Amino acid sequence: MNETLKVLESRRSCRNFKPDMVKDEDLKAILKAGTYAATGMGKQSPIIIAVTDKKLRDEISEENRKIGGWQESFDPFYGAPVILIVLAKKDVRTYMYDGSLVMGNLMNAAESLGVASIWIHRAKEEFESDFGKDILKKLGIEDEYEGIGHCALGYAAEPAKEPARRKENYVYYI
Ligand SMILES: Cc1cc2nc3c(=O)[nH]c(=O)nc-3n(C[C@H](O)[C@H](O)[C@H](O)COP(=O)(O)O)c2cc1C
């Protein structure tokens, strides 16, 4: 199996991160890989907001927790120090597919560099609220964007779990 295939198979979601910040050069490489995802008609509808600031990271976690309805002690980002938020421009027909592919690139690029990751949901609700809209406003982003997902990044505090068995009939040959 070549290195790319190994990475694609071995990436697992991490739910226990160390607090250590991701190395800057690795973070940049992961973000770059995200920007090279395929997009419908090459329109590059997504944007990525890279959050490394602890205060903002904690505020996002708190918003996400409230949307999810969990108890106060729960961190939906499992301690990850970096949150990459992928949003995509709603007036592009393929925006959700485009944003999802960016998420895939981010997670797989992270895996290739020994950085753990997980897709955390509820970005849509976050950016429909004043909290999210305010983040966009501060960045000078005015177009209509929908939150697609958060890619939480960091270093794993425990070994990755074995993947679930792949279901029967995942693939059909004709
Ligand atoms: C669209 C999407 C949303 C997800 N949202 C969450 C989430 O909010 N919280 C969480 O712990 N995991 C979330 N996950 C991670 C999945 O639970 C995980 O990918 C799945 O259990 C398979 O495990 P693996 O990633 O290790 O292969 C999400 C994954 C996807 C693709």
Q: For the chain, what are the domain ranges?
A: 3-154
Q: How far is the CA of 137 from the centre of ligand 1 (A)?
A: 29
Q: Residue 121: how many CB atoms within 10 A of its CB?
A: 15
Query: What was the pLDDT predicted at 103?
Result: 99
Q: How far is the CA of 119 from the centre of ligand 1 (A)?
A: 5
Query: What was the pLDDT predicted at 140?
Result: 97
Q: How far is the CA of 118 from the centre of ligand 1 (A)?
A: 6
Mean pLDDT of 114-120: 98
Q: Which fold has domain 3-154?
A: NADH Oxidase (3.40.109)
Where b means 16+ CB within 10 Å and e means fewer, 59-72 reads ebbebbbbbeeeee
Counting ligand 1 atoms within 8 A of each CB, the residue from 10, 121, 122 with the most, and so the one to mutate, is 121
**Given the CA of residue 118, which atom of ligand 1 is nearest to it?**
15
The pTM score is 0.98
Mean pLDDT of 55-75: 98
CA distances from 163 to 10, 104, 136, 137, 166 (A): 8, 17, 36, 40, 8
